[in-house]
Each structure stands twice: as structure tokens, then as C-alpha cells.
Homo-oligomer: A and B are copies of this chain.
Amino acid sequence: MSLLDRIDECRRWDRAGYRPFRIADKPLGWVTHGFAQRLADFPNVFRVGEASVDLSSDLTDFASRSAAVAEVLGRFKGEGMIKGWRNEPYPVGLDFYAPPLLQMERAAVPLFGARAYGVHLNGFTGQGRDLKLWVGKRSKSKHTAPGKLDHLVAGGQPLGLSLMDNLAKECAEEAGMSAALARTARPAGFVSYVTEREEGLRNDICFAFDIDLAPDFRPNNIDGEIEEFYLWPIAQVMERLRETDDFKFNVALVNIDFLVRRGYLSPDEPGYVDIVEGLRL
């Protein structure tokens, strides 16, 4: 086992099993050939071709696209095809900063291989060899990655919030942190990947934030999503990352990015270039 195994978990994808999902001739994601066949039952919404699946060009704006897709997804939900329905609309578009082309239930986004965004907070205290990182253990009742190790705070990026506002909201819900404290977090880039998971094709950008916390800080989970928090020496985090897949797949990637940025990995060690190249698409 090695850190490269964690990287490889974030690039498991056989493109031959997919065809592009497009809106207005622009590629927005990827659908499996099997799912494409299911979409062919809704010709007013999806034009299913051999080489691609296109959203109907009769759907020309955010509202009509979102409503038409929601109707199809409601049918799939009724058939038990979409698991872990969250009632969280996610934006789907070409560019993070442009108005989205439609919104879609979060649990369905991986079925379309569309890009989604999230915020991940590395919470630590101390520095160098003495740095300790906050680690959360996800509730066993969570639909995705139950019982896996997580960040101090992490969450999906919904419509209508800035990343920093979303981070502050998640900090309150997941760790009981004040807005003033949350806003001392500093952005630190992102990791990105396309990888096959049980829920579909995850095509994500995870924005990383770092927060330097006081030694006496204690998180307090409010929303029940985190069962327990640990404050681990960075060497222990590295060992768990290397030896196990206990961390949720994308949390591991953001953690490795943290190790790279803060000098815990040596570029003189074989594998370093592959690891760093694997952090972003």
C-alpha cells in the first residue's frame, strides 16, 4: 500500500464505457451506455445517439431544462434507481463562474458524470513535525462512505452561495464553529478527479482550505454527520493514508495535497512526481 494507491482510487475510469453528455453541443459530463439506454425512454428530454447523449435543444433555459430533467429523475427515484436522494439542487454548467445551465438533484449528478464542487477544510494545530490534524469519523448512517475518515469540515457546493459562505455554513453545522473562526480559514487551491464510484462517475473539484486552530479548540458536530473527532499527529495521518483506505477517497486526495504543499513529502522520493500529477486532472 502507498499514497499512489489513494491517487489511483481517484482516477479509476474506463472512458470506453461512457459517451459524452452534452447541452447545446457542449460536453458537460459522461453517461454509461447502459444509462444512455434508459434516457432514450424520454425523447422529449434527451436525444440519445451512438456517440453522445444531448439534452433536447427544445429546452433552452435554466428553468425548462431543470424542470424536464427533474421529472425524469423523479421517475428514476420512484423505481429505486437513484439511491441516497438528498433534496439538494446542484448547479450543472460549463464553468464554475458562469451561470449554470440547469440544476439537478445532487444524488443524480454522478449518473451524468457532470462536474460538481465541494469545500474541504484541513484543520490543524502546531507546525512541522509537531503538527496535528483534525480527523472526523463519518456517521455509519451516511449514505456515501459511512464510517470513513473525513476532514474537520467538508461539504458539497450548492447553488447560490459563495465558497467561503458555504464553508462557514458547513463549519457551523459540522463542527460548531463560529463564523468569525471559520472565516480565518485560507484557500489553498484544489484537487480534481474523474473516477468511478458506486454512485456513478464522480467528476469533482474539491476546493481546499486550511485553518490554523488554537491547541484548545474542540469541534462539536451539530448535524449528526460526524460521529467522532480525533486530533492526530501528522505522522499518524500519513501512516493511515499509506497503509489503509480508511479515509474517504476524495478526503485522502485533499490530505495528500496538504502533505505536498506543507513539505511532508520529499520530491527526492520516487513516486512524488506521479503523486503530485495525480492531485489534479
Contacts and interface: CB of A to CB of B under 8 A. Distances in A.
A192 B164 CA distance: 29
A268 B186 contact: no
A268 B162 contact: yes
A12 interface: no
Interface in A41-66: none
A15 interface: no
Given A205-B273, A273-B205, A277-B280, A262 B186 contact: yes
A270 B164 CA distance: 14
Interface residues of A, number: 30
A69 interface: no
A70 interface: no
Interface string A182-222: 00001111101000000000000101001000000000000
A276 B97 contact: no
A260 B210 CA distance: 12
Contacts of A188: 260-263
Copies in the complex: 2
B205 A268 contact: no
Contact of A266 (B187, B190, B210, B267): B187
A268 B183 CA distance: 14
Contacts of A276: 189-190, 280
Contacts of A96: 273
Interface string A94-105: 011100000000
A265 interface: yes
Nearest to A164: B268
A270 B189 CA distance: 14
Given A96-B273, A97-B270, A268-B162, A260 B205 contact: no
Interface of A: 95-97, 162-164, 186-190, 192, 205, 207, 210, 260-263, 265-268, 270-271, 273, 276-277, 280-281
